[in-house]
Structure 1
Amino acid sequence: MAHHNLHTVVRFEFLRTLKKKSFWVSTLIVPVVVGIVFGLVSFSGNSASKSVSAQENAAVTFSYLDESGLISDKLGQDSGGTPVTDRQVAIDAVRAGASEAFIYVPQSPARTAIQVYGKDLGLFESAKYSAVATRMIAVAVKDKVNSPELTALAAGKVSFTQTMFKDGKVSGGIFAVIPPLLFLGLFYLVILFLGNQILNSTVEEKENRVTEMILTTLNPTTLIIGKILAILATGAVQMLTVGVPAAVGFVLLRGHAGIPDISLAALVPEPSAMIVGALLLTGGFILFSAALVAIGSVMPTAKDANGMFGTIVIMMFVPLYAVPLILSDPGSRVVQIFTYFPFSAPVTAMLRNGLGSLSGIEATIVITELFILGAAAIAVAVKLFRHGSIQYTSKVRLRTALSRR
């Protein structure tokens, strides 16, 4: 009978959520907005690239004075320049509008700045004068060195490959970090999208005054566990709804729209890191869900319950402020506190798991802690719901509720 009731609760809560228009609006709006943003970024990037290219190739009529001897007469003429001998006269001509631009190359341009004077065409368009000066100097240096390879090396245009080893095997580097960190993204996605629903899952029955009738046919434990399982299933639907379009978009658009061109073959996750990430995600979800259900059980209205959701969100984001410390010194006391404090443990541990600084012993301790505290939080939530299910107008006093048998 209990099994049948649990199945009924899970099915009812799951289908009730999926039938809500607000659920699908909040779920589908994410990939739509992300798609629009990537489209705008791609369009802006292409426009900016064309503008920069146009500036680099812009034809500018200018005068120049070269005291370094780098610029030959032919190069100056080909670039659209006219040599002059009086610097101040050339500057005055630009100020008076008689000349479009003047470029002054000092005797040692490596130590002294090249000076560019020009007609103000706006913040972006005026940059074409500097672009012309830069291009002219680059060609002059290339002609002097007479070696494209040395010129490229001097400009820092060096490509390289690197191979790192871990435990005698080639490590995946950054590509091994990405897959485990996806669990962290899923954790934030589920809690932020479903947090209010979890919080209000027990308040709705209280506001509708149906808890007395529900508890005549259902055990509170069955009801609470059923709600959490239904929300977990709803979260899975939400992950697939957002994740599948994101994966398809990455495959189709990689290398475009600002998406890095990463080979899928390079994203080879380590099995142990993926297992640890999945367990941390599950344990963290159980703990946070049970805590939200417990908070909802003591609140008389959804408005009162929603006020507590901000506190939960803050605890989720606090570890992100310690990311530089997690990267540089994962053994520090602050990072250790974040790793084992229950409500910062899921985020911190998933970060460290992805970055490879979470040891097997630490992972075991954190996972065990999350599941034990999650089970304890469910028990507390059940007790609070049983006590506060018919307390419609005021908050449940925790000391009274937890001390009552």
Structure 2
Amino acid sequence: MTTTPTRASSFLGRHNLGTVVGFEFIRTIKKRRFWIATLAIPVVMAIIFTLVFASNSSTRATSEAQKNATLSFTYTDASGIIPDAVATAMGGHKSTDPDTALADVKAGRSDAYFAYPANPATEHVKVYGADKGIFADNTYEAVAKQLLTIAAQARIGSPVLTAAAGGNVTVDTQTFRNGQVAGGFGTALPPLMFLVLFYVSIILLSSQMLNSTLEEKENRVTEMILTTLNPTTLIVGKIISLFLVGLVQIGVFLTPVAIGYAFFRDRLALPDVDLTSLVFEPGPLLVGALLLLGGFTLFTAMLVAIGAIMPTAKEAGVIFGPLMALIFVPFYAISLILSDPHSAVVQAFTYFPLSAPVTAMLRNGFGTLNTTEAIIVIAELFILGTLVLRLAVHLFRYGSIQYSSKLSVTKTLRRTPPELTGK
């Protein structure tokens, strides 16, 4: 049985692709600096979580201690709100002479003196106390407020009115869209997770992608590699391997966040998100996934092209920095994106290739990206991503062995690729 050249080259291409993916992946994860950089984020987050945990625990304990502290204080009450029994239970003694009460504090015969005005809603409560240090002095204000709060609740005499006056009520809000119950933020959150993944993947992988395409060039070994590998196979292999490396990094990055949220949410003052309220709508989720893949494809292709043109990573950084900054530009107009998604500025951000992924994912999450707009943006990202990737491979073929100067894009585009000439 004879194997045709086409089938043989296809088999070798698949074999070489697997070799490139395995080599690049293993080479990256075996480097000590990779794990130092990867573990640095969760280690720093763990340290921050520990400090916040300890700080919040200490603050909460101090706040409760200050609020419930027992002081020997005197007070005057021009408002007539505070019952004598309530003040006495907290260690207070009513005074009829403000000057004498203040003199006792200055002389050290009393811990504090609280002067309640006739209208505490519009006038300031005066608090005088013996200096016990910057933090301990906060006890006076806490006790003064606590006494007034308890007195007001006692005056109202109704738990229902007390809860209403203090705003301690629970509100259930239900909205409708097209006659159906809308999910609110529970509907927006799942599609917005694709935006988070996009940022994480770009931030974690972009520098590695740029350095990966320049590493062989700086080591002067590219010409030897290209004698056995097709440039397309090499580039695609690098992209796949870096994608796998990114999954490892994302997993390591999210682990401390998940642990902190699951077990220490209250202590770390993290927002309490009711996962049962999340609504997973197939349409927005599919659009979000396609926008993520399309945006990743486009930015990856552009980084490969930059690596093919520039001779060193240092020179590539001149273009790399502004390119990465462009993905954050839509957040400067986020209020406009959310409030007026059909304005000219938002429409420009939606269709401009470098800002399209972020803007479209934001609008998709908040339900302002219609089906037609989604199809146009997704098609734009994949088409441009494919074209830029083909251009990047073409540039890499000629720029990978140009070590001393930047590759001329216009001159390179005039050249005919060897696969089209048969050479």
- Structure 2 length as normaliser, TM-score? 0.89
Deviations 1:256-287 (A, max 9, x none): 53334434333332121111111111111111
Cα distance in structure 2, aligned partners of 1:246 and 1:130 = 36
SS, match of residue 80 in structure 2 = coil
Which residue of 1 is the match for residue 316 of structure 2? Answer: 305
Structure 1: stretches of 5+ with no match in the other structure:
none
| Per-residue CA distance 1:41-85 (angstroms, 9 max, x = gap) | 222222111111101101111111111222233233222222222
User: Does residue 412 of structure 2 align to residue 374 of structure 1?
Assistant: no
- In the alignment, does 2:233 pair up with 1:231? no
Residue 180 of structure 2: aligned partner:
169
**Structure 1 Cα separation of the partners of residues 134 and 364 of structure 2:** 46
Give the AA of the match of 2:286: I
Displacement, 1:4?
2.9
Q: Name the amino acid aligned to 1:193.
A: L
Query: Matched residues in 2 for 1:253 and 1:263: separation?
Result: 15
Selected match of 2:205 from 188, 194, 207: 194
Checking the alignment, whether the CA contact within 8 Å between 1:338 and 1:348 is kept in structure 2 is yes
1:94 and 2:101 matched: no
Matched, 1:65 2:101: no
Alpha-carbon distance in 2 for matches of 1:364, 1:247: 34
- Which whole-Å deviations, capped at 9, do the CAs of 1:158-209 have from their partners, x for residues lacking one? 1111223334333332222222222112111111111111111221111111
Contact 2:56 2:267 in 1 (8 A): no
CA distance, structure 2, for counterparts of residue 69 and residue 265 of structure 1 = 48
Matched residue, 1:276: 287
SS at match of 1:201: helix
Q: Do 1:179 and 1:267's aligned partners in 2 also have CA atoms closer than 8 Å?
A: yes
CA contact (8 A) 2:305 2:393 kept: yes
Deviations 1:231-259 (A, max 9, x none): 22322333334345644554444555333
Which stretch has the larger CA shift, 43-52 or 116-125? 116-125
Q: Which whole-Å CA distance do the structure 2 matches of 1:97 and 1:289 have between them?
A: 72
Change (3 A) 1:340 1:147: same
Could you tell me the percent identity over the aligned residues?
A: 52
Distance 1:171 1:253, change over 3 A: farther
2:226 corresponds in structure 1 to: 215
- Residue 129 of structure 2 aligns with which residue? 118
1:31 equivalenced with 2:31 (yes/no): no
- Correspondent of 2:275 among 264, 269, 282: 264
- 1:139 pairs, out of 150, 154, 159, with 150
SS at match of 1:165: strand
Q: Displacement of 1:355 after TM fit?
A: 1.9
In structure 2, give the amino acid aligned to 1:394.
S
Give the C-alpha shift of residue 153 in structure 1: 1.1
Tell whether 2:149 aligns with 1:150: no
Q: Structure 2 CA distance, aligned partners of 1:49 and 1:120?
A: 22
Query: CA 1:320/1:126 → structure 2, altered by over 3 Å: closer, same or farther?
Result: same
One-letter code aligned to 1:337: A
Is 1:83 equivalent to 2:82 in the alignment?
A: no
Using the TM superposition, name which of 54-63 and 333-342 deviates more: 333-342
Distance in structure 1 (CA, Å) of the matches to 2:405 and 2:257 = 44
Name the aligned partner's letter for residue 327 of structure 1. Answer: L
Does 1:53 pair with 2:46?
A: no
Instruction: Tell me the equivalent position of 2:304.
Output: 293
RMSD: 2.2
Q: Is the 8 A contact 1:200 1:305 kept in 2?
A: no
Paired letter, 1:258? A
Given the superposition, is the C-alpha separation of residues 141 and 39 from structure 1 closer, same or farther in structure 2, using an over 3 Å criterion? same
Name which of structure 1's ranges 28-37 and 171-180 shifts more when overlaid on structure 2: 28-37
SS at match of 2:82: coil
CA distance in 2, matches of 1:254, 1:70: 39
SS of the residue aligned with 2:273? coil
Structure 2's unaligned 5+ residue stretches are 1-8, 417-423
Alpha-carbon spacing, 1:245–1:69, altered in 2? closer, same or farther (3 Å): closer
Work out whether residues 330 and 355 of structure 2, in 8 Å CA contact, stay in contact via their aligned partners in 1: yes
Counterpart-to-counterpart distance in 1, 2:247 and 2:119: 65
SS at match of 1:202: helix
Asked whether the equivalents of residues 26 and 193 of structure 1 are also in contact (C-alpha less than 8 Å), the reply is no
TM-score (norm 1): 0.92
